[in-house]
Amino acid sequence: MKRFILFVIYLFFVSISFAQVKQIRVACVGNSITHGSGGTTAYPYQLGLQLGSHYEVKNFGVSGTTLLKKGDYPYWKEASLQNAKDYDPHIVIIKLGTNDSKPQNWVYKNEFYQDYVALIKEFRMNGRKPQIYLARPCPSFIVLAGINGTIIREQTLPLTDSVRKNTNTHLMDFYTPFADKSNLFPDGVHPSAECYKQMGQIAAATILNSPSGDCRIINESIIYQCKSVKSASSAGYLLKNINYATATSGVIRYFNSKQATFEKGKSVNLFWETTTGSQTSIDGTAVKETDSLIVYPTKTTTYTLITKGTFPDTAKVTVTYYPPGKVKTFTSKPSMIEKNSTETSTLSWTTSEGSNATLDGISVDANGNKIVSPKVTTTYELAAKGDITETSKVTIQVLDADKINRSLSGGIKASSTVRSYIPANVMDGNTTTFWKSGSEVSPWIYIDLLKTMEITRVVLNWGNIYAKSYFLQSISENGITTKNIYSTTTGDGGIDDVTSLTGSARYVRLLCTVRSTADSGYVLNEFEVYGKVNATDVEKQNSIPFEYKLEQNYPNPFNPETTIRYKLASPSTSRSGVQAASQVSLKVYDVLEREVATLVNEFKQAGIYNEK
């Protein structure tokens, strides 16, 4: 189904967004029974319907995959595993084991336990603590493509239960409820649409009626009862008959505030959800199990949510007060400009409600920006006065062109990213951080210089996995014209300092074609770009439109990326004589009017802008 995107831009007004509960991310890992048709029949989709808008459920199922690393089609080798980890889920459902019952796979049955434990550890790496459910596989009523229902019942289920009990994970039972429901499995193995619907209901009931948090046991008494039952099947029935509403009351699933800070006269929205049957209070006042509350604090305040039940719980939220006189932000972009050029930098600032602001001693609007063009390195000071007084300084360096690494003030995008090794790491001036690409054949990464420049030099600081063959490309402002400005087939890692480049570009792209190690992504520590300002382009950029206009984005939203172009006319002059700026909010919404992303939320001077 195609997804339509609506672009909305607000000028002059602070964007007011309705507070929403932070969504809980659920990752469904598994084989074809998880993947389904990839659409509305799969159980993850049905689970999403059952859980509602507080949750986001994503399907990471891959047909035919095994949990065993030595299986004929290991889930371990699929991009979906990495994607599921990159999703940073709060909840993980692992439903694997069906394809492991095939004879060519089950010869490695002695490794099933250790491979399952290793997979759980993958989702707990780097200090992450998702709530993990191990799903007992659905029954198999015939031998289909080698899948053996007897092995699933007598060997896979007990092993899965053993892993669960020894890894502080939770049970999700897709076997017991369907053990005698062969009519719900048309080919004897794969669920029908009705069965998927029931699986979604089972999964939702299990999640909503079990504790949240860091891998806590559902109920010690339940675990003890399960240990006393010899049959895994009967243990499943025992769990099924437990009154979860009573057994898990008192657990706080979340307690948060839409905003971490607030200003004079502003309200704060609190949101919470606790498990069924909880007796819930905030600062001693009884509230509903799941609800929201608008409060009006006058100072930095901590709110305490307390529950009573089987699992008494406590959670706190602190909101910080910004009194009048607080400097919230003060930045310059870019922070380095070229000596003896027409290049400019924009100072932007925001202060708290009720502040009186001065820039270098001259009165300015409390929130605004100013275009400056210093001829020598200059430090600017912003002061805010009110109930308190704060100052902040920024320095704009004026340097020779060959001393300015344009990447430090630019933008960036890459074709893929592995986990937290994000593209921005190559433009932070820190060689200990890095970007790591995915495993595709020809990944790319580009620097957006924010304006067209004459490119003179590029420095690539490679990590332990480098490109033996790559291209450096210049891309025009409109994204249409691409030229190769350098290439090599003899890359040897380390630092590549490419000089004597020619040509103008808005974007400089690195396209990698041959890596030094075949089974991993490229590692790049820093991507530096040097160039000279194109005077014609500066004049073009500084031209002032006569009207406010949001133009048609290009290409359309069904492409991997799109550019949104908008024009800001010149508003009236402020009381300080500084050209006033418009506060711009550019947000992306889907067809259900849900906010997808905020592309811009700042003050901008009149001009023509492009956002991706």
Q: Are residues 478 and 584 in the same domain?
A: no
Give a yes or no: residue 508 inside a domain: yes
The number of folded domains in the chain is 5
The answer to the question of residue 311 being in a domain is: yes
Q: How confident is the model at residue 67 (pLDDT cuts 50, 70, 90)?
A: very high
Pair 561, 529 in one domain = no
Beta strands (DSSP E) in 420-491 are 435-436, 444-462, 467-475, 482-488
Give the whole-angstrom CA distance, residue 119 versus residue 121. Answer: 5
Q: Which amino acid is at 526?
A: E
Q: What is the mean pLDDT of residues 566-579?
A: 48
Residue 25 lies in a domain: no
CA pair distance 32, 63, nearest whole angstrom: 4
Task: From 214, 247, 280, give the residue that closes a domain.
Answer: 247
Tell me which of 574 and 196 has the higher pLDDT. Answer: 196
Q: Report pLDDT digits (tens) over 424-481.
A: 999 999 999 999 998 788 999 999 998 899 999 999 999 999 999 999 999 988 888 8
**333: domain CATH number?**
2.60.40.10
Same domain, 527 and 436: yes
Numbers of helices and strands, H then E, in the chain:
12, 35
Looking at per-residue pLDDT, the higher value among 582 and 280 belongs to 280
| Cα pseudo-dihedral 19, 20, 21, 22, rounded to 10 | -100
Cβ(185)–Cβ(138) below 8 Å: yes
Q: Is the pLDDT of residue 214 over 60?
A: no
Q: What percent of the chain has pLDDT over 70?
A: 78
Model confidence band, residue 602 (pLDDT cutoffs 50, 70, 90): low
Average pLDDT over residues 258-273: 89
pLDDT at 555 over 70: no
Q: Quick check: 446 and 413 in contact, CB under 8 A? A: yes
Quick one: 146 and 273 in the same domain?
no
DSSP for 466-483, written as a single string:
-EEEEEEEEE-TTS--EE
Q: CATH no. for residue 222? A: 3.40.50.1110
pLDDT at 566: 72
For residue 147, the 8-state DSSP code is B
| 23 domain-assigned | no
In a domain, 395, yes or no: yes
* pLDDT, position 543: 45
Q: Is the pLDDT of residue 12 over 80?
A: no
State whether residue 463 is helix, strand or coil.
Answer: coil
DSSP letter, residue 400: -
Q: Are residues 428 and 564 in the same domain?
A: no
pLDDT at 367: 94
113, 121 in Cβ contact below 8 A? Answer: no
Based on the fold, state whether residues 103 and 209 are members of the same structural domain.
Answer: yes
In a domain, residue 214? The reply is: yes
58-67, 220-229, 374-383, 583-592: segment of lowest average pLDDT: 220-229
Q: How far apart are CA 605 and CA 603, in angstroms?
A: 7
Q: What is the mean pLDDT of residues 192-221?
A: 68
Break the chain down into helix, strand, coil percent, rounded to 5: 20, 40, 40
Based on the domain organization, do 125 and 158 belong to the same domain? yes
Residue 192 has pLDDT above 80, yes or no: yes
| pLDDT score of 227 | 28
Q: What is the pLDDT of residue 510?
A: 97
pLDDT surpasses 70 at 590:
no
| Mean of pLDDT values over 275-304 | 92
Contact (CB, 8 A) for 355 and 385: yes
In a domain, 482, yes or no: yes
Cα–Cα distance, 471 to 454 (Å, whole number): 18
**Residue 349 in contact with residue 367, Cβ under 8 Å?**
yes
Q: Which residues of 259-296 are buried (b: 16+ CB within 10 A; e: fewer)?
A: eeebbbeeebbbbbbbbebbebebeeeebebbeeeeee
Distances in Å between the Cα of 247 and the Cα atoms of 21, 229, 233, 311, 315 are 26, 19, 21, 8, 20
**Whether 257 and 392 share a structural domain:** no
Neighbours of 46 (CB within 10 A): 24
Residue after which a domain boundary falls, among 204, 230, 247: 247
The one-letter amino acid code at 142 reads I
Domain shared by 379 and 417, yes or no: no
**Residue 548 pLDDT class (50, 70, 90 cuts):** low
| Residue 24 included in any domain | no
Let me know whether 336 and 392 are in one domain: yes
Mean per-residue pLDDT, 129-149: 89
In terms of domains, do 260 and 177 share one?
A: no
Residue 87 has pLDDT above 80, yes or no: yes
Is the domain of 291 the same as that of 344?
A: no
Residue after which a domain boundary falls, among 518, 538, 558? 538
Predicted pLDDT at 581: 54
Asked if 257 and 215 touch (Cβ cutoff 8 Å), the reply is no
Confidence of residue 15 (pLDDT cuts 50, 70, 90): very low
| 559 pLDDT tier (thresholds 50, 70, 90) | very low
**Bridge partners for 381 per DSSP:** 393
Range of the domain at 51: 31-247
pLDDT tens-digit profile of 315-368?
889 999 999 999 999 999 999 999 999 899 999 999 999 999 999 999 999 999
User: Tell me, what's the pLDDT at 595?
Assistant: 67
Contact 514, 469 (CB under 8 A): yes
**110 near 70, Cβ under 8 Å?**
no
The encoded tokens of residue 138 equal 């659905």
Could you give the percent of the chain with pLDDT greater than 90? 52
Is residue 528 predicted with pLDDT exceeding 90? yes
Residue 607 confidence class, pLDDT cut points 50, 70, 90 = low
Cα–Cα distance measured from residue 509 to residue 447, given in angstroms and rounded to the nearest whole number = 6
